[in-house]
Copies of this chain bind each other. A is one copy, B any other.
């Protein structure tokens, strides 16, 4: 995406003191871009916002905007990755606090659900880019997904253990199936093909169903996987 070596640095947290003028300018621009994009996308929706407007609001040239963001879609992912990051962490923490497995899994996608109900268009575009996009911003989003799937797998493992089930099932695949199904449910709502107010119930139903089936130990018969 980035045209040529962008002004990338080890994107580490603000720790080092010896910040050059350049670096300060850079950080400041990033902050302005993120702020402008966050506000405009939230206010008017992804497709109704022109990159020019974001550049104007951030008080930079369009060339500069694309130097930092790579593409309009990348900009959206930047914004939403940031917003979802905390939510995902919180969800993971919550999910470890002994809740019922279904609720624990729902907690993991709670930020996406909330975002999906509040800003359907932006969330749909985000999910679309997660699956079909490219570039570093998509990688970051994919990392979120991977974290969530891992957390689901962990929940499944505990679920199986507490019930004394045979743990041999491919819980990684189960987690993947569960996430995929929830992804579809969320997208359906964001695209307006299912009512938003029923999203959590629908997710709960899907997760219940899958928990109840995917995770039970295999009987002796049948086609053993793998």
Q: Give A residues with C-beta under 8 Å from B.
A: 102, 124, 128, 131-132, 169-170, 173-174, 176-177, 180-181, 183-184, 187, 191, 205-206, 208-216, 218-219, 222-226
Contacts and interface: CB of A to CB of B under 8 A. Distances in A.
A184 B174 CA distance: 14
A86 B224 CA distance: 33
Nearest to A224: B212
Number of copies of this protein chain within its complex: 2
Nearest to A170: B209
Contact of A225 (B128, B169, B208, B219): B208
B223 A102 contact: yes
Given A180-B181, A187-B132, A226 B205 contact: yes
A173 B209 contact: yes
A211 B223 CA distance: 9
Nearest to A102: B223
27 contacts: A102-B223, A124-B132, A128-B131, A131-B187, A132-B187, A132-B191, A169-B213, A173-B209, A176-B181, A177-B177, A177-B181, A180-B184, A205-B226, A208-B223, A211-B223, A212-B218, A212-B222, A212-B224, A212-B225, A213-B214, A213-B215, A213-B216, A213-B218, A214-B214, A216-B216, A216-B219, A216-B222
A124 B183 CA distance: 17
